[in-house]
Amino acid sequence: MDNIRYLETITKADTMKRYGKIHRVVGLIIESKGPEAAVGDLCYIHTSEYKEKIAAEVVGFHSENVLLMPFREVKKVSPGSVVEATGEPLKIKVGMGLIGKVIDATGHPLDGGAFPKGLKGYPTDQEPPNPLSRPPIHEPIQVGVRAVDTLLTVGKGQRIGIFAGSGVGKSTLMGMIARNSSADLNVIALIGERGREVREFIENDLGKEGLKNSILIVATSDQPALMRVKGAYTATAVSEYFRDRGYNVNLMMDSVTRFAMAQREIGLATGEPPTTKGYTPSVFALLPKLLERTGSSMSGTITAFYTVLVDGDDLNEPISDTVRGIIDGHFVLDRKLAEQGHFPAINILRSISRVMKQIVSEEHKASAEKIRSLLATYEENRELIQIGAYKKGSNREIDQAIDHHSSITQFLKQGVYEPASFEKTVEDLKNLFE
């Protein structure tokens, strides 16, 4: 029986190699006459001088010409350079050997070393799971950040957005989650980051303990737009591989905004019309496909944290608005809190976890709602309190908010390397008013 199956496979195999020739290069796009290929297929451009192959992807067609975008900067490509089609999309190598490693967007070790043994090929671009195959979120996951575990509890398989301007503490918060979370594995994608920040994140924010249990995918801002887009796909594919094997995975992506900017570059280069704030229609089509791939499945879970870089602290700009409508909750990092030395600078009143009510006890829920109420009351009357216009005893709720404000603020602050277990944190929340 096996022999028949092998013979059928050999009979169906396409043994022909298809080639084309470079026609012209315009900006980011390389146009070639042939080869026969589909959108998303991997091709290799053979350079004349260095006798090397440059990987490129088919991103579109124009007047019967194939539009290619290279994975790295193109040099020594001339008219007539040969383009070889592979007939399949990009695949990365994944496996247990990747844990503790730093790789690039194509899955190669970033330090230039050899691949670990025991890896297998895995496609980067996959369809989201069937909605009916997703089990409901019913169990909390320890994030290890007091403000999150108590007032914005995250469930296994939930997708969260971290919205913040530059320099408010997104990377620091990601490092805290990676070190303190109860997940089996962290997959961290640094998309469009400065080259300087990669080493700093690994050594300062993540640390040796965090790296032992993590896989980093890095596509820096100096790399071509296609590498930045593929970095997001590769990180999601690595997470899916481990989810399919029953792991509870944390996926942290910094940032979705730079993924959208990279896709905008590709869209404009291929002739797409710019729409809202210059973003092309493909950006808003690809965001749901990327974000919906994470979450829970019948085998395991991917709890995803996506950072969104908010220009000018405007939470209503197009990418922020689109991402917020897709995911299951958001944390807003407030610049005012950061300036006051309140870290992590999570604005509790502007943040929400959409599954918290389903996964926490009634006692936990009541304590969290009481703290939210006291914080909201204090914020509404902040000016009166600070200028001394409020007289104590005029309003019982405001009196309670003033009495407890200091202890609540102290509870929500947390040192970068201060551990916090879920059970103890929830217990401390319940005892906060005693």
- What is the band of 386 on the pLDDT scale with cuts at 50, 70, 90? confident
pLDDT at 187: 97
- What is the band of 13 on the pLDDT scale with cuts at 50, 70, 90? low
- Residue 367 CB-half CA count within 13 A: 22
pLDDT at 15: 65
Alpha carbons 203 and 196: distance in angstroms, whole number: 12
Is the pLDDT at 227 greater than 90, yes or no?
A: yes
Structure tokens at 126: 């996959």
pLDDT at 14: 62
- What is the band of 305 on the pLDDT scale with cuts at 50, 70, 90? very high
pLDDT at 169: 87
Q: Which fold has domain 363-431?
A: Substrate Binding Domain Of Dnak; Chain:A; Domain 2 (1.20.1270)
Alpha carbons 248 and 252: distance in angstroms, whole number: 13
DSSP annotation of 101 reads -
The phi and psi torsions of 430 (rounded to 5 degrees) equal -65, -30
Q: State the amino acid at position 123 in one-letter form.
A: P
Is the pLDDT at 411 greater than 90, yes or no?
A: yes
Kindly state the average pLDDT of the residues 338-366. Answer: 94
pLDDT at 380: 92
Q: Which of 101-115, 350-364, 369-383 has the lowest mean pLDDT?
A: 101-115
Alpha carbons 18 and 134: distance in angstroms, whole number: 41
CATH number of 92-360: 3.40.50.12240
Is the pLDDT at 12 greater than 80, yes or no?
A: no
Q: Taking the model in full, what pTM does it have?
A: 0.91
Q: Which fold has domain 18-89?
A: Thrombin, subunit H (2.40.10)
pLDDT at 113: 81
pLDDT in tens, 101-148: 999 999 999 888 888 888 999 999 888 989 999 999 999 999 999 999
Give the chain's mean pLDDT: 90
For residue 119, CA distances in Å to 98, 108, 171, 418 come to 8, 12, 29, 36
pLDDT at 64: 86
Share of the chain above pLDDT 70, in %: 95
| Strand blocks (E) in 165-314 | 185-191, 214-219, 248-254, 295-296, 301-309
Per the CB < 8 A criterion, the answer to whether 2 and 38 are in contact is no
Nearest to 188 by CA among 110, 249, 126: 249
Give the torsion through C-alpha atoms of 84, 85, 89, 91, to 10 deg. Answer: -40
Kindly state the average pLDDT of the residues 180-188. Answer: 94
pLDDT at 27: 81
pLDDT at 115: 84
pLDDT at 312: 65
**What are the structural domain ranges in the chain?**
18-89, 92-360, 363-431
CA 331 to chain CA centroid, nearest Å = 14
For residue 35, cis peptide bond before it (omega within 30 degrees of 0): yes
Per the CB < 8 A criterion, the answer to whether 145 and 420 are in contact is yes
- What is the band of 379 on the pLDDT scale with cuts at 50, 70, 90? very high
pLDDT at 81: 86
Share of the chain above pLDDT 90, in %: 65
386 against 260, higher pLDDT: 260
- What is the band of 310 on the pLDDT scale with cuts at 50, 70, 90? confident
pLDDT at 397: 92
pLDDT at 277: 83
Per the CB < 8 A criterion, the answer to whether 330 and 133 are in contact is no
pLDDT at 389: 86
Per the CB < 8 A criterion, the answer to whether 175 and 207 are in contact is yes
Alpha carbons 66 and 31: distance in angstroms, whole number: 6
Structure tokens at 289: 């496909």
Structure tokens at 211: 């790296």
